[in-house]
Structure 1
């Protein structure tokens, strides 16, 4: 029963992220950079309140060294770039690219780990990465466009994860530090770049302000749910559940936003799904070996 409770946290957090394009589409009248600034500011507020009541945030912050604070600031910039790319993709009719970016992110993370952390790779990982590269080439060749937004999302999140992999912080504390450190930039952007939200229709103005404040909750609540739930599950299990996010975004892009899904998209996504299936199968197999559970033992348990 306890596992079911935590599983519901993970799924609810992931589904909320997956449905977020619908939320940000309601803010299409506001520029993407302003939405990111508000999202950073309000996320910092809500996460700071959460951490203040549940951990010694102030004491931890004072103990951070200059190098660690710089890394947190850099990761904050990267996550802001990722947020901007995602929101811009949704509000410019490219939600399909956002889905693509989060689908290929796990394999981009493997690639960056090999290049920058000298991590050992397997032939299956290289094969999966090769399929992703072929899928991008197919999109360029058949649709005549580089999926730049998808690549920005995948690589900004990949480099973000690369920095985080060298830091010992739980996800909630980490994102709180990051949003606090980039909040001064967010305030400056709001001061210099934003246009008056209040227009002729006061009701629209009020609803827009409420939605902008809620952008912080849309960030904070799923993160808290997801981070709380993942404590009792293996990396492989969490990795599989996370694919719900781009899958929901994929379905929203096609059936809700009615974006074009051409032959090039079908071939590219098919290759990526094959790559992710192979990569995930290997990850699960490794997890079984790590925990000492063989495939035969698992099959006996299932009977």
Structure 2
């Protein structure tokens, strides 16, 4: 099996795990979302730190935890923790359909952030794709008389997270490790307050880790569920063209959408159908443009290589 094929399979497995993750977090509906988030942060920090230690890369952390890099890491940590919280909350509260919409919208939000932050130019196809996503949000807002705030917040936090990661310019695993390490003190404080009964979350008490062995095991496994797919994703991006990664990535929100509609039986009205239809059309157009640009770039690279060979 070639390295590229292994990369594609790694990406598929990561996307399928992410897509099926609502089934896991639904099992923790009796645990308040911030408590779940705190345990997810703690156990993923343990796993990421152990992986870095085994790879001999612990020395990469100090640079990320001081000066300007710490500010960027801190903001990235805030964005990814907000994203994780919104996803956990949406699954527990019966809004998984809206969460999946957020991850569908994210690529188009990322394109818009590229324009605003880096001055990137949109092709006509990309511009139309962004407009279709905006129209989808408008349709859902008018139809349901409320904006899809969870979807928008998920897409925006993930988009800003990607923006900061690009500015940071660090390797994926060390940077994520630094992010969760920054969040660990907050997680410990929150678990301490809720576990002692000093603070309640949405009127619910905390300290559920000691409820029963099954709950404790699920909370610990949330770290594995965070770290495992990310490492597969990192492996894939090093071996597969980004256009391919982008296409396979859509398995994630598709899996979430299927969990919401087929397993959780969440409401899916005609307004949802219209909005998702517009989003899927926009993503199809965006994917076509990405693949076309990727082919053009590869042809240009081959052409340049051939010309250099002839000149030499």
User: How high is the TM-score relative to the length of structure 2?
Assistant: 0.89
- What residue is the counterpart of 1:154 in the other structure? 155
Residue of structure 2 equivalent to 1:14: 15
Matched, 1:285 2:292: yes
**Structure 1, unaligned runs of 5 or more:** 295-303
Residues 57 and 174 of structure 2 are in contact (CA less than 8 Å); yes or no, is this contact kept in structure 1? Answer: no
Equivalent positions of 1:117-156 (< 5 A) are: 117-156=118-157
After superposition, where does 1:16-31 map in structure 2 within 5 Å?
16-31=17-32
Return the alpha-carbon distance in structure 2 between the equivalents of residues 233 and 251 of structure 1: 26
Q: Which residue of 2 aligns with 1:53?
A: 54
Distance 1:148 1:222 in 2: 26
Task: Output one character per residue of 1:204-226: Cα deviation in whole Å (capped at 9) or x when no partner.
Answer: 62111110010000000111112
1:196 counterpart = 2:197: no
Structure 1 20/43 Cα, relative in aligned 2: closer, same or farther at 3 Å?
A: same
In structure 2, do the counterparts of structure 1 residues 198 and 213 end up closer, same or farther at CA, with 3 Å as the change threshold? closer
CA distance in structure 1 between the partners assigned to 2:225 and 2:30 by the alignment: 18
Alpha-carbon distance in structure 2 between the residues aligned to 1:211 and 1:75: 26
Residues in 2 aligned to 1:276 and 1:20: alpha-carbon distance in whole angstroms: 22
The correspondence for 1:218, drawn from 201, 219, 225, is 225
Find out whether 1:79 has 2:90 as its counterpart. no
Equivalent residue, structure 2, for 1:183: 184
Partners of 2:41 and 2:183 within 8 A in 1? yes
The corresponding residue for 2:305 is none
- CA deviation after TM superposition for structure 1 residue 145, in Å: 2.1
- Name the CA distance, whole Å, in 2 between partners of 1:94 and 1:126: 29
Is the aligned partner of 1:111 residue 2:122?
no
Q: Supply the distance in 2 between the matched residues of 1:143 and 1:234 (Cα, whole angstroms).
A: 39
Separation in 1, partners of 2:191, 2:118 = 37
SS at match of 1:165: helix
SS at match of 1:232: coil
TM-score by length of 1: 0.92
Structural RMSD (CA): 1.5
1:301 alignment counterpart: none
Deviation at 1:138, TM superposition (A): 0.6
SS in 2 for 1:261: coil
Which deviates the most, 95-104 or 47-56?
A: 47-56
Which residue of structure 2 aligns with residue 238 of structure 1?
245
Could you tell which deviates more after superposition, 83-92 or 164-173? 164-173
Q: Which runs of 4+ in 1 moved over 3 A?
A: none
Relative to structure 1, the CA distance from residue 142 to residue 63 in structure 2 (aligned partners, 3 Å threshold; closer, same or farther) is: closer
- 1:122, 1:101 → 2: CA distance? 23
